[in-house]
């Protein structure tokens, strides 16, 4: 079985091709960029519709397969931004109907976790999913994945981007912020139980910069506070569940500093840190292809006319077994 998966929840239009063993035959993407770093849903959707055909062709070329040899078409059904999601869904439905292939709508956070478990060989981890729009601590419990903690406002990546825009850093600001070093400036550290909040942290960082405090000091302190908040919640999740592995997924998981902090925390409590290469940690089509194979085996195909996109779909809405890796 070979699956072609389409990702289009936000700025990335990605197409991945993956076989039943989890071998990644292709993972191609084209990411929307704007001058300001902001995203208007219409512009993102227009970008995706322009690049879709070429990204699909390129993925088939890279994998060395024809559309005929594909057994399943998967696509990101949500959560995400409505208009770009629609483009991926329409492209996937058209492919599935014309090529007469089964169609499977995939939950995007579930795909991040499943490709992470597969590639990092992590059977039953606590997953820290850190990206632009999402920040969640996820683990398997009973008949599904549950969210143990999450952001109460914006995702860690979007917090980085907001602050980055204020100081004129190019998009994406995350990798730039991650390399800055400075001296400590006190900033609000907001963890409420298992949940986190980043917007007050951004506001206070911006206020201090406007007041004339050292930009590098504020930016470095911002990253330290934000990452420490994430690590605190991840550690409490490990303690609560008594699980032994922490799996980092999402675009922000590419951060060497976040990995370093996670590594120290895991070592101190006898747990193991599991990571995946950035190309598979960020938004990509390969994770959708792989999860569509799993979903096809667990639930079978979706009827194309019943595959409207679900912009608010949560990972804990789905019954899902803990599968072998």
**For binding to Fe ion (CB under 5 A), which residues are involved?**
131, 283
Please report how close the Cβ of residue 303 comes to ligand ATP at its closest, in angstroms.
26
Is 175 an interacting residue with respect to ligand ATP (CB under 6 A)?
yes
Residues 107-146 that bind ligand ATP (CB under 6 A): 131-134
The angle at the Cα of 297, spanning 321 to 64, to the nearest 5 degrees, equals 125
Stretch that binds ligand ATP, among 152-160, 234-242, 289-297, 314-322 (CB under 6 A): 152-160
Among 83, 255, 292, 307, binds ligand ATP (CB under 6 A): 255
Three-state secondary-structure class, residue 242: coil
Contact letters for ligand ATP, residues 15-44 (x by CB under 6 A): ------------------------------
Pairing of strands 72-78, 24-31: unpaired
**183 φ/ψ angles, rounded to the nearest 5 degrees:** -110, 160
Task: With beta carbons less than 8 A apart as the criterion, state whether 55 and 7 touch.
Answer: no
Q: Is the peptide bond before 79 cis (omega within 30 degrees of 0)?
A: yes
Instruction: Give the whole-angstrom CA distance, residue 143 versus residue 126.
Output: 16
Using alpha carbons, select from 199, 202, 206 the residue that is nearest to residue 167. Answer: 206
Is 88 an interacting residue with respect to ligand ATP (CB under 6 A)?
no
Is 78 an interacting residue with respect to ligand ATP (CB under 6 A)?
no
The set of long-range contacts for 256-263, using a CB threshold of 8 Å and a minimum separation of 24, is 256/178, 257/178, 257/223, 257/227, 258/130, 258/178, 258/227, 258/230, 258/231, 261/227, 261/228, 261/231, 262/128, 262/231, 262/234
DSSP code of 301? P
Please report how close the Cβ of residue 154 comes to Fe ion at its closest, in angstroms.
14
Stretch that binds ligand ATP, among 3-11, 89-97, 235-243, 269-277 (CB under 6 A): 3-11
Stretch that binds ligand ATP, among 53-61, 91-99, 251-259, 311-319 (CB under 6 A): 251-259
Please report how close the Cβ of residue 102 comes to ligand ATP at its closest, in angstroms.
25
Using alpha carbons, select from 292, 223, 226 the residue that is nearest to residue 71. Answer: 292
Task: With beta carbons less than 8 A apart as the criterion, state whether 105 and 77 touch.
Answer: yes
Q: Which of ligand ATP, Fe ion, none lies near 16, with the C-beta cut-off 5 to 8 A by kind?
A: none
Residue with tokens 């409490």: 236
Is 250 an interacting residue with respect to ligand ATP (CB under 6 A)?
yes
Q: Which of Fe ion, ligand ATP, none lies near 221, with the C-beta cut-off 5 to 8 A by kind?
A: none
Among 157, 226, 247, 313, binds ligand ATP (CB under 6 A): 157
Is 252 an interacting residue with respect to ligand ATP (CB under 6 A)?
yes
Q: Which is nearer to Fe ion, 30 or 283 (CB)?
A: 283
DSSP code per residue over 129-172 = EE-SS-EEEEEEETTEEEEEEEBSSS-HHHHHHHHHHHTTPPSS
Q: Which is nearer to ligand ATP, 126 or 230 (CB)?
A: 230
**Binding residues for ligand ATP, per CB under 6 A?**
9-11, 80, 131-134, 155, 157, 160-161, 172-175, 178, 250-252, 254-255, 282-283
């Amino acid at each position: 079985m070979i699956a072609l998966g389409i990702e289009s929840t936000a700025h990335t239009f990605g197409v991945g091709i993956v076989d039943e063993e989890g071998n990644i035959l292709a993972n191609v993407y084209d990411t929307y960029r704007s001058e300001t770093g902001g995203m208007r849903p219409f512009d993102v959707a227009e970008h995706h519709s322009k690049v879709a055909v070429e990204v699909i062709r390129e993925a088939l070329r890279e994998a060395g397969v024809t559309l005929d040899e594909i057994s399943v078409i998967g696509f990101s059904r949500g959560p995400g931004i409505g208009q770009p999601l629609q483009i991926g869904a329409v492209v996937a439905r058209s492919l599935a109907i014309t090529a007469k292939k089964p169609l499977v709508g995939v939950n995007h956070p579930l795909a991040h976790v499943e490709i992470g478990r597969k590639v990092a060989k992590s059977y039953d981890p606590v997953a820290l999913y850190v990206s632009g729009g999402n920040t969640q601590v996820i683990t398997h419990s009973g008949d599904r994945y549950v969210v143990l903690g999450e952001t109460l406002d914006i995702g860690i990546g979007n917090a980085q981007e907001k602050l980055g825009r204020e100081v004129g850093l190019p998009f994406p600001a995350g990798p730039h912020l991650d390399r800055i070093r400075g001296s400590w400036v006190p900033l609000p550290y907001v963890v409420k139980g298992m949940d986190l909040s980043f917007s007050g942290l951004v506001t206070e960082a911006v206020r201090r910069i406007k007041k004339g405090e050292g930009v590098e000091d504020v930016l470095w302190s911002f990253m330290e506070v934000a990452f420490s908040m994430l690590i605190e919640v991840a550690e409490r999740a490990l303690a609560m569940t008594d699980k032994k592995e922490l799996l980092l997924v999402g675009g922000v998981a590419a951060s060497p500093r976040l990995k370093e902090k996670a590594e120290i925390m895991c070592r101190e409590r006898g747990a193991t840190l599991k990571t995946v290469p950035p190309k598979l940690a960020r938004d990509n089509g390969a994770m959708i292809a792989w999860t569509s194979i799993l979903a096809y085996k667990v639930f079978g195909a979706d009827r194309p006319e019943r595959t409207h996109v679900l912009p608010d779909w949560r990972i804990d809405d789905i019954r899902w077994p803990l599968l072998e890796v």
